[in-house]
Structures are given as C-alpha cells and as structure tokens.
Amino acid sequence: MVAGEVAVVRAGTRVGVWCRFFVALMLVLATNSCTGPGVVTSPTSEIPTSGIGSASTATPTVAGPITTTAGTEPSGDLWTTARPPSATGTASAADDLVPFFAAVAETDRLLRAAADAVNASFGADTITVSQATIDAVERSAPTAVATAIPAGLQPAVEQAVLLVYSDLVSRYAALSCLPRRSIPRSELNPRCFTQGHAAAIRLTADVDTARTLAAATPPMAAPAADSRTVAELLLRIAYIDERNLGCAQTGGFLAIDAIRIDWIAESPPAPDIPPTVGHIGGIPFRATYNAPAGWTVSIEAC
C-alpha cells in the first residue's frame, strides 16, 4: 500500500457488523435488520416515577453547534490526559463524565489498532482480511462510550459529549466495507475506509472542548427514569448510529450541530402500524415507556 493510502485508512475506521453493534448496561441497541430502523431501550428502573414524559412536553432546549480547531490525528495523549479542574475547584459535570472519557480513550486505542490491522491487509493487488483483523474491528465498536453517557447533562455539555461519540462512531463505521474474503483491490468501493478521516483528525480537540465545558458546569441531576430527558439521549445516540451505520452508510456523520427533537404525535399510516410520536433530525421516531423495562425508542430511517 502506498503511503497516501495508509494515511487514509489509518485515520478512518469502520464496522463490519451494524447488526451486532450493542450497547449494554445503560442502553441496549438492536436493529430489526441491517437496513431497518434502530431500536433502543433504556435501563431497567426499579422505582420509576408515575406517568410517561414527566418532563415538559415543549420542544427541548438545544445547544448551538460545537466549534473546535482541527487537531492532529488522535494519539496516546487521550489516554493519559487528566481532566481539567472545575472552574470553581468544586464538583462539576466532569466528575459525572470520568467513565465516559476513560471509555473514549480506550475506544480510540482500539480503533487505532483496528486501522493498523486493516492497513496490513492490503497487498499490491489484493486485500486479504484475516479473522484476527475482523475481530480487531469488532472490538473497536464504541459501545462502552455510549453506555457511559449519562442522561441529564446540561444541553451544551451533552452536545459536546455527543460530538465526541460521533467522532468514534464515524471512525468505526468507516470500516464497514471490510471484506470477509480476499478480493482484488480494484473491486473495493472507493468510499471504503475514507469517511472517518475528518473525525480522527478532530477527536483530540473535541475531547478537550467537552472536558473544558464539563469542568465549568455544575454536576448533573439524574432525571427520573420515565423522563423524556432519558428518551432523548437514547434517541440522539441512535440517530448518530443510524447516520453513520444504517442505510448502507460508511461513516462521515459528525454531530457538530444540535440534534433537534420535536415531540409531535402523528396518526399511523395504517391500523396495524404503531404511530410515531415525534421527529429527530426530521426523521419520525417512536418512543414508549414501560416499567420496569424503561424506554424503547426507534427511528424510522431507510
């Protein structure tokens, strides 16, 4: 592989298996098919408050777009950098995000290892992928990062956190073209392995922005299990996944702009089809809360 090709693949990384992309503990992600709508359920709640959507039914507050300067490709700095102290020296939202930033650093390391394995699969005329390379890509799925995002962050902090998450999902999704057999290089889709490059370049700066905002923000107050705040976080994570992994995508979507959610009940198109209850990024979604299972949300994409 020529040096330029190595750089492109090294920076971009992807998932070969959208239907095996799970989020455990805090979330469980599942799909009906590799091109079907994603379904997300919230964690079990032992003592949910009564009533669905105890939060306000008004359009939720959304933060403005996150702007950072482009950094260099992620390095071991993500693994060793300590979080900044809060602006007041007291507890802050950064304390709530310690597991998140640790998961980001570990996932970045796994993505870099997966990219190296993919690069090693390129020969002069063919691409030969070993099971070890497939396993390396699957291990780099950012499931632990999604699991570590708590519901209830202030809008600006949540937006910054979701941007970091989208950086990682985009890189992971950029490997979706990974062949499961030897193929001629001429048969490779030109979009393969390239859509995670921008995310890899900006990750360090985006992490720094999220750390700084969190350190300057008071600790979060955990919302009730049946709050729409919980459902909206699940929806935004699912939306990022769908834009990068669903509908034959190969990465490239970054949550730079706020992901707007509008709760609008709509009549079903047919009696046997459940109604949608809102739009996320202009796409209809369903969301239901049932104790003790929690929220189940699905985005009607593709």
What is the average per-residue pLDDT within 246-275?
Answer: 91
What is the average per-residue pLDDT within 165-188?
Answer: 90
Least Cα distance to 233 among 211, 255, 204, 200 occurs for 255
Residue type, 233: L
Confidence at residue 88, expressed as pLDDT on a 0 to 100 scale: 52
Dist. CA 86–CA 112, nearest whole Å: 30
Report domain extents, the chain.
3-299
Please spell the DSSP secondary structure of 5-49, one letter per residue.
HHHHHHH----S-GGG----TT-EEEESSTTS-EEEEPPP-SSPP
Q: What is the pLDDT of residues 20-79, one digit of tens each?
A: 443 333 333 333 333 334 444 443 322 222 222 223 333 333 333 333 332 334 444 554
Does the model's pTM come out above 0.85? no
Place of tokens 């998961």: 103
Q: What is the pLDDT of residues 69-124, one digit of tens each?
A: 323 344 445 544 445 555 556 899 999 999 999 999 999 999 999 999 999 999 99
Dist. CA 121–CA 126, nearest whole Å: 8
What is the average per-residue pLDDT within 149-163?
Answer: 98
Q: What stretch of H or E contains 147?
A: helix 143-147
Dist. CA 77–CA 230, nearest whole Å: 32
Most confident listed range (170-179, 208-217, 246-255): 208-217
